[in-house]
A and B are shown apart, each in its own frame.
Chain A
Amino acid sequence: MSELLQQTVSGLTTGLVYAALALAIALVFQGTGTLNFAQGEFATLAAFVSFALSTAGLSWWLIVPVLVVLAFVFGAGVERLLVRPVEGNGPLALLTVTAALLLGTNAVVALIWGTDVRSMPSPFGDAVHHVGPLTFTAQALGGGALVLTAMVLCGAIFRFTPLGLRLRAVADNPDSARLLGISTGLMLAVGWGIAAAVGAVAGLVAAPTLGLSPELMTNALLLALAAVTLGGFSSRLGAVVGGLLIGVLSNLASRYVPGIGGDLQLVVPFAVIFLVLLVRPQGLFGRPSAVRA
């Protein structure tokens, strides 16, 4: 029983990374109506930048806010310079751009830092804590807290600030929002910026556990896509809950389902995506889309 509990809790801590990435994907989808396939690569780039800043001697207390600001500016800049020019050319053009961003960002990271897997020290140390029958690494606790804080802050901005109300208005009905005087272009850039910042925190937290390489977030992106499908693309809360559920499901399946193990863990997200699309396409928390005939 205690092992099951341990596996569940471990799944939740890894699930937080998927949740943050899923949240970032959902934010972009709600604003732009497209999947940003490069969201994982943005997070990988952020992890490498934090590694570079750490190597340069910057304290972790400074790295986190600097990284968040840099990621925000990067995300907003990508929207403004690369996404917006093709926005009017339909969803396929947008998907192509995000796929190109995935490949391009991956190539740039590999070009600058190489393709070898590097070890990245945990900002939270190597200590191990015991709480009753459960064991936590400092990285899991600190990283989990950091990701959770980023998601709560993001949620608070959306829920409780005038900026959030404008972002929600643009996500819900861009035309109506424009006519209210909201600059949808600015709001989309801000949305991409916030998404990149949340993803950056996910990359920063994932790197010490998974090892720093250009492929850092490749699997995490697939799991995040499953999470956002499960939770619902139209729901930020759904994306987070989906991420946590996917983390737990993957962990439990690799431990208890014969034949899956660590190598076949990615079967779980694919199975989840397939089942959700079959049974409840809008996801657990999503709203079914209605198209006026």
Chain B
Amino acid sequence: MNHFPCDLTHSTLPAVTQAISPDRSANDSGGGAPPALVARGVGLSFAGLRALDDLAFEIPAGGTSAVIGPNGAGKTTLFNCISGLYGYEGELTLHGRPLGRLRPHQRARRGISRTFQTPALLDVESALQNVALGAVAHSRVGVVNSMLSTRRRRREERETLERAYALLQRLGIAALASRPVAGLAHGDRRRVEVARALLSSPSLLMLDEPAAGLGAEEAQDLLAEVEAYAGSDTTVLLVEHDVALVMSVARRVVVLDSGRLLAIGTPDEVRADPRVVEAYLGAEDADGPAPERLHASTGDAL
């Protein structure tokens, strides 16, 4: 169910980008460390349609943050820009270093890892091999070495498989390690993809709708496990429709609507923002005061 009204007009949206407080961002990042991700004037058009428009926000380093918004808000498009699949205007900075025009594989080597709405796995390969692919970004085995059975290659392969298996164990699917992923249930495929993303020890882990197809408790457990495994060096950035889940785990929430930044802040700040309240629940089909209904829809998180 989409809680966002489709007729939300841009004219009602304030220039939120100017409202971001640099001081607050710096405080959120903690200890003076640069934010995990900074967007400045990020925009993108598809055939004249403005998919992202002048986005500016900061994601603090460490913990979990989230991007929410209705269908077509530009959440996955933003992920595609961050991961380098789409070219964009403006600038993205990862831990203080501009990403510039780096290509996707170069961004992966910089520490960006992500999952997809529909898990993108090698269907004919085993769960273990799929997870092992996550180590490619930091592999020291080149093209020639990888064709030969060198000692370095064998050692790296063994270590990678051991780490991959340990991750599968941690996510509770070690029994599926040798099974081709084509036959796995959606939730298990999702876990395999998350494990693959984690294996690369990313500094920014982007999860695109990780709760899709999972029960509420399963999703909570998965995210808790991800955050625990990733540790403080990894920032988790979610795109998620399940608002209650987002409000319960996110440190900072970015709200997009029609490619524009609608609001940004802590879950409490976002929840209290009248623009978000209106966007989420609308005014015309309201059964009661909007803030109460938003509160109710995120009640699990409170």
Chain A interface residues toward B at CB < 8 A: 157, 161-163, 165-166, 168-169, 172-173, 175-176, 178-184, 186, 190, 292
Contact = CB atoms under 8 A, between A and B. Distances in A.
B64 interface: no
Contacts of B112: 179
Contacts of B134: 180
Interface in B96-137: 103-105, 107-109, 112-114, 116, 118, 120-123, 125, 129, 132-134, 136-137
A165 B157 CA distance: 12
Interface stretch (B38-46, B138-146, B166-174, B251-259): B138-146
B267 interface: no
A83 to B, nearest CB: 17
Nearest to A175: B85
Contacts of A184: 105
Nearest to A234: B124
A90 to B, nearest CB: 15
Nearest to B109: A181
A181 B200 contact: yes
Contacts of B114: 179
A172 B143 contact: no
A168 B125 contact: yes
Contacts of A186: 143
A172 B123 contact: yes
A180 B132 CA distance: 10
Contacts, number: 74
Counting from the closest, the 6 A-B pairs by CB-CB distance are A181-B137, A181-B108, A178-B104, A176-B120, A163-B146, A162-B146
B196 interface: yes
Nearest to B103: A178
A229 B197 CA distance: 36
A178 B84 contact: yes
Interface string B274-288: 000000000000000
Contacts of A161: 146-147
A166 B147 CA distance: 11
Contacts of B139: 162, 181
A153 to B, nearest CB: 10
Given A169-B133, A172-B122, A180-B134, 6 more contacts: A161-B146, A162-B153, A166-B136, A180-B136, A182-B105, A190-B143
A124 to B, nearest CB: 27
